[in-house]
Structure formats: structure tokens, C-alpha cells
Amino acid sequence: MNYRIEHDTMGEVLVPADRYWGAQTQRSLENFPISQEKMPNEIIHAFGILKKAAATANHTLRPQKMTTEKHALIAQVCDELLRGELKEHFPLVVWQTGSGTQSNMNVNEVIANRGNAIAGNKLLHPNDDINMSQSSNDTFPTAMHIAAVLAVEQTLLPAAEDLAATLERLEHENEDVVKSGRTHLQDATPIRFSQEISGWRASIETDLIMITNALEHLRPLALGGTAVGTGLNAPQGFDCTVAERISDLCGTPFKAAENKFHALTSKCELVTVHGAIKALACDLMKIANDIRWLSSGPRCGLGEITIPENEPGSSIMPGKVNPTQCEAITMIAVQLMGNDATIAVAASQGNFELNVFMPVIAYNFLQSVRLLADGIRSFNDRCVSGITANREKMHHNLHNSLMLVTALNPHIGYENAARVAKTAYAENISLRDACIHLGYLTPDQFDTVFHPEDMA
């Protein structure tokens, strides 16, 4: 491999000749050979937006330093970065400095060196130009907020909305189906299948509202606070100007954080948003479990619904098909709950003027969004959208349920109705026969008041 010599304030470093990163990136590569988890692409993308916006703000507020030529060159390279053309130049792992300084410098070095290659001379400096009016301490939390908002808005919310729409369709298709309800995994009073589905739909829609509302807390940005929140070395108005430009580039609103000291050290907003996302995961766990219980069988389980058969389910049992999409989304939910614990603990560690657990927060947050968005789409497309009711089995289970006796409460009282249910179960006879046998109602009276389909 061919190398070139780069330098920083600590001296010279050998860097691969075909890479645009510089000395600080190389030092991080050498000092943190830890595992395989790379800094998320979403963070690098957010940095591209941030650096382009910062160059524009600096060009407006400091035109003598951020010249038209430098501004145009930085913008050109940031556009390449945003198109995904420079991915191989961002090699750093999550397990690095807790401020994300080395990833900020990775971006600064790549933009500067790529820009200089385009210009044909050393026009850009990573610190003086690309990092102008900034610090890693305010850029990394800003990149986290940008990445989080874009990931949630562009992937997670649309996926969950599509799932809610599928459930609404199934709800309308099954309005005439009455089945046995279940509580405590035991028979309960009747319910329409559409009502059961409506509970799933409303859960997803409620989660969407909570996530959307929580997302507003991520719109204030730390940028402009620089090292400790005082805004040292940033010109007056930089924070508001750069937030406006970021909003334009993202197509979604951001604003300058009012209190930069809070913005640098507290990560409560990310905890809040991830908590709302966790609520969605919890509901998906419940819905997926309901679906695999209802589809259990096909002969020895509940068997009240059928789901798509996507692949063979066993290497030894021919013909077996399993609810694998339910298994995938529930595993994702479990992973997300673990991520939530990591984020909460990391956010609690903001000492003095800076939280130094930011890379692990970013990694877990964005993994959660990525996993859940992909998982919901697969679950929706390959399972939920193909659910059909086994009407015959639902009808059989409904009329075989002892909890239909609840309809008799107003006519014979709770204790007598309980006696009817216990007698029917003990003697393996129908509720009708048990009620008549015990002398509580005549056959005609029972037939007049007992209509299971009307109980829903």
C-alpha cells in the first residue's frame, strides 16, 4: 500500500495515499481497534448537511474568512458526501472518544483534502475552514439531532403509517366476524374481529402521535455553543443562521437551542424520543404475539386466522410452517428495549459541560430506528397484509365458549350464571342444557335472551 505523510499538532502520521482522511482520523484508527461497529452512515450524512450549512453561515457572517471560493468548494464536497460518493473515507468505529471529536475531525479532514484535490492546491484547512465557528462538542450533538429526526421522519413513521393502513383495511374486511374474546389467555365474552384489529390499529396510531410529538424536542440544535456552551469563536447570530440553513437543506424545521449549556451536556431529548419509539416496539411485540397465538396450529392450536406461508419451517418436520415474521419483529423489539437501557444509562453520564457517551447513544438510537423501520415493513408486507379470518373456527370457538353465560347475568344473576357455566363444563354439556337442567330458564326463555353475535 502507498502512503503519504500527514501531520497534526502531535507530529507526522502515515496515511493511505488513496484516502482523503488526515492525521487525526489515522490516529483514531490506530488507537481504537475495537470491534466492527462503525460510526453510523446517518451521522456522517448529518455532518455533511451541518458542514455545508456552517460554510454558508460563515460565508454570510465572515466573508473575509469564508471566501466565495472556499464556500463553493466546501459545498461541492458536501454534496458528494450527501450523495454517498465518499463512504470509504469514513472508517472510524463507535468505540472512540465519547465526544465524537475524531469523527468530527474525520469529516473535516475528508472535506478539506477532497476540496484541495479538486482545487489543485491547499486552499482548505480542516480546523480553520471546515470547522470554522464550531467545536466537536456542539457539532456532534447537532449531527445526532439531525440524523435522528431524518431517520424517524423518513423511514420509521412511513413504515408505521403503512402498517396502520393495512390494519384499517383488515378492520373493514372483518366487521361481520364475531369471535370469542380472551383475557388472561382464558375465554372471555365475544368480540368482533374488527374490534380486535381496531385495538392493534389504535395502538400503532397512538405510538405515531407520541413519536411525532416527542420529535419536536430534537429540533433545537447545539450548534453555536462551541466548546462549553459559551459560543466562543462563533460570530453573533451564527447559531440561528446555521439552523435556518440546516432546515432548508433537510426540508424539515430546526432551530437554535436557547440554552447551549443544556444542549451540550444533556441528552434527555434523545432519551424521550427513543422512549416513544420503545413504546411502538412494545405494541408491536404484543400485536405480533397476538397474531402468532391466533394463527397457532394449524390443527392443534387456536387456528382462528391464517397468515402467509413464506418458507418451510423445519429441517426435520415436512410441511411445517412457522410465524417467522412475528418472530423477527419480536426479536427486534427485544433488541430495541436493550438499546433503550443503553441510551438511558449513557444519557445519565453528562458530567459538567459535556456528555461523553454520545457515539454509543447515536449508534443505539439509529440502530433502533433502522431495525424497527425495516422490521415493520417486512412484518406488514409478509405477514399482516395477508391475514385472513378462519370464520368457521371462530364461529365454533365462539359457540363453544362458556363465557357466553355472561349474557344471562341480567336474567338469572351472577351466582346462578356461574353455576350454569360450571355445570356445563363439568358435565360437558351446552350452556343451554345446563341452564334448563338447573331450572333457571325455560327453553323458550333461554333462546329469547341468548344471542352470542349480539354480545359484541
Mean predicted confidence (pLDDT) in 136-141? 98
Task: Give the separation between CA 396 and CA 411, rounded to whole angstroms.
Answer: 25
Q: Which CATH architecture best describes the domain 20-132?
A: Orthogonal Bundle (1.10)
User: Could you read off the pLDDT of 191-227 as tens digits, one per residue?
Assistant: 999 999 999 999 999 999 999 999 999 999 999 999 9
User: Could you read off the pLDDT of 85-108 as tens digits, one per residue?
Assistant: 999 999 999 999 999 999 999 999
* Average predicted confidence (pLDDT) for the chain: 97
C-beta separation of 13 from 27 below 8 A: yes
Mean predicted confidence (pLDDT) in 20-40? 97
Task: Provide the 3-class DSSP secondary structure of residue 134.
Answer: coil
pLDDT of residue 60: 98
C-beta separation of 152 from 367 below 8 A: no
Residue 135 has pLDDT above 90, yes or no: yes
Looking at domain 401-455, does it have CATH number 1.10.40.30?
yes
CA 90 from centre of chain: 24
Question: How confident is residue 14, by pLDDT bands cut at 50, 70 and 90?
Answer: very high
Phi, psi of 256 (to 5 degrees): -75, 135
User: Could you read off the pLDDT of 144-201 as tens digits, one per residue?
Assistant: 999 999 999 999 999 999 999 999 999 999 999 999 999 999 999 999 999 999 999 9
Omega of the bond leading into 298 within 30 degrees of 0 (cis): yes
Task: Give the separation between CA 253 and CA 221, rounded to whole angstroms.
Answer: 11
Residue written as cell 405510538?
207
User: Could you read off the pLDDT of 271-282 as tens digits, one per residue?
Assistant: 999 999 999 999
Mean predicted confidence (pLDDT) in 114-139? 98
Catalytic residue numbers, as ranges? 184, 314
Share of the chain above pLDDT 90, in %: 98
> Going by C-beta distance under 8 Å and a sequence separation of 6 or more, which residues neighbour residue 304?
179, 294, 295, 389, 390, 393, 394, 397
Residue 21 C-beta-side C-alpha neighbours within 13 Å: 24
C-beta separation of 241 from 224 below 8 A: no
> Going by C-beta distance under 8 Å and a sequence separation of 6 or more, which residues neighbour residue 442?
436
CB atoms within 10 A of CB 74: 27
pLDDT of residue 1: 82
Task: Provide the 3-class DSSP secondary structure of residue 59.
Answer: helix
Domains 20-132 and 138-175+186-221+260-388 share a fold: no
Question: How confident is residue 350, by pLDDT bands cut at 50, 70 and 90?
Answer: confident
pLDDT of residue 272: 98
Q: Which CATH architecture best describes the domain 138-175+186-221+260-388?
A: Up-down Bundle (1.20)
Task: Give the separation between CA 184 and CA 186, rounded to whole angstroms.
Answer: 5
Mean predicted confidence (pLDDT) in 107-121? 98
What is the DSSP-derived secondary structure letter of residue 258? S
Cell of 228: 462549553
Model pTM score:
0.96
> Going by C-beta distance under 8 Å and a sequence separation of 6 or more, which residues neighbour residue 54?
132, 133, 134, 223, 242
Domain locations in the chain as residue ranges: 20-132, 138-175+186-221+260-388, 401-455
